[in-house]
């Protein structure tokens, strides 16, 4: 079942960067991010609703490139 409460949007440039993908994977306390075999970023769909709105991913990526969307609040966005 798709996430009910949270979605994350990551710019393609960030998602394709193995170094940034590793950083996002490391900072997320609830494992929303992972790295694929080639090092690029994967979003772990089943963990999206576990997001604790900590902003660590937003702060780890370049300005505005990671956005956390609150689906329960008419799509309001957390971003840097």
Partner 1 sequence: MRFFEYESRQIVAKAGIPVSRHGFATTPEEARRIAEEIAGPVVIKSQVLTGGRMKAGGVKFADTPDEAAEHAAFVLQLEINGHMPRGVLVDSRVSVKQEYYAGVVWDGIRKQPVMLFSDMGGIDIEEVAETHPDHVGRGWFSNLTDVSDYQAKQVIASIGVTGAALTRATPILTRLAQLFVERDMTLAEINPLAQLEDGSFVAVDAHMDMENEARPRQKQLLKELGVGDEETRQAREATPFELAGEAVDAASHRGVAGNVTEFDGNLGLVIGAGGGSLTLFDAVRAHGGKPANYCEIGGNPSVEKACGLAKLVLQKPGVDKIAVMMSIVSNTRVDIVARGVIKACVELGYDPGEKIAIFRIPGAWEDEGFKILERYGVEYCDRSVSMHEAARRAVEKIGVAA
Contact between 72 and partner 1 per CB under 8 A: yes
Check: CB of residue 74 under 8 Å from CB of residue 50: no
Check: CB of residue 40 under 8 Å from CB of residue 21: yes
* Stretch 34-53 residues interacting with partner 1 (CB under 8 A): 49-50, 52-53
Check: CB of residue 78 under 8 Å from CB of residue 68: yes
Pairing outcome for strands 76-78 and 6-10: unpaired
Contact between 11 and partner 1 per CB under 8 A: no
Which residue, 2 or 37, has its beta carbon nearer to partner 1?
2
Contact between 1 and partner 1 per CB under 8 A: yes
Contact between 77 and partner 1 per CB under 8 A: no
Contact between 30 and partner 1 per CB under 8 A: yes
């Amino acid at each position: 079942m798709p996430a009910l409460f949270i979605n994350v949007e990551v710019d393609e440039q960030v998602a394709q960067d193995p170094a940034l993908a590793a950083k996002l994977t490391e900072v997320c306390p609830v494992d929303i991010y992972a790295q694929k075999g080639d090092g690029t970023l994967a979003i772990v769909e089943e963990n999206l609703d576990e997001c604790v709105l900590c902003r660590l991913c937003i702060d780890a990526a370049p300005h505005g490139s990671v956005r956390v969307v609150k689906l329960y609040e008419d799509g309001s966005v957390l971003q840097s």
